[in-house]
């Protein structure tokens, strides 16, 4: 008898990932409308970074986790290098008075001259770019 064609196995995980992605998107769209009375002014910068970036990171992982798992170095190494470069450049700019951060808008926790929110911002931004790049690369250019 001939070889039988196998049907792709339907898994609960695919539907669950889609549900979680839709839930994240729904929460992400609702967060900017949180009444400002519920937030301390000193959390403004951190709040906006996390509300606008983490759902996108989570959505990308929900959709392309297998690709990311097989490509950990291209996903995480560039953000470490680029994020660190931007931190060094930003440190010089803040130290030299080119710009500053409003103490009322940040937590006042610093890594050197930079508020912790700025550190998070640079690494998360670089991670989003890196993940997007790896996710959208043609299969022939990434490890599958």
Give the three-state DSSP class for 111.
strand
Give the three-state DSSP class for 130.
helix
Q: Give the whole-angstrom CA distance, residue 122 versus residue 101.
A: 15
Residue 64 has what pLDDT?
A: 92
Task: Calculate what percentage of the chain has a pLDDT beyond 90.
Answer: 50
Higher pLDDT, 11 or 28: 28
> What's the token pair of residue 117?
């929110």
Give the three-state DSSP class for 52.
helix
Among residues 49, 70, 74, which one has the least CA distance to residue 133? 74
Q: How many CB atoms lie within 10 A of CB 52?
A: 14
Q: Give the tens place of pLDDT for each residue, 80-129.
A: 999 999 999 999 999 999 999 999 888 889 999 999 999 999 999 999 99
pLDDT at 34 over 70: no
Q: Give the whole-angstrom CA distance, residue 73 versus residue 71.
A: 6
């Amino acid at each position: 008898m001939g070889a039988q064609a196998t049907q792709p196995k339907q898994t609960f995980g695919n539907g669950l990932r889609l549900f979680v992605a839709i839930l994240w998107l729904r929460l992400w769209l609702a967060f900017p409308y949180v009444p400002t009375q519920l937030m301390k002014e000193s959390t403004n910068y951190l709040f906006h970074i996390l509300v606008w970036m983490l759902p996108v990171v989570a959505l990308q992982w929900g959709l392309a986790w297998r690709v990311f798992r097989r490509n950990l170095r291209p996903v995480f190494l560039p953000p470490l290098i680029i994020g660190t470069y931007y931190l060094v450049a930003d440190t010089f700019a803040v130290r030299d008075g080119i710009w500053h951060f409003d103490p009322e808008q940040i937590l006042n926790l610093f890594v050197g001259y930079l508020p912790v929110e700025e550190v998070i911002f640079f690494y998360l931004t670089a991670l989003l770019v890196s993940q997007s790049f790896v996710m959208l690369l043609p299969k022939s250019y990434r490890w599958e």
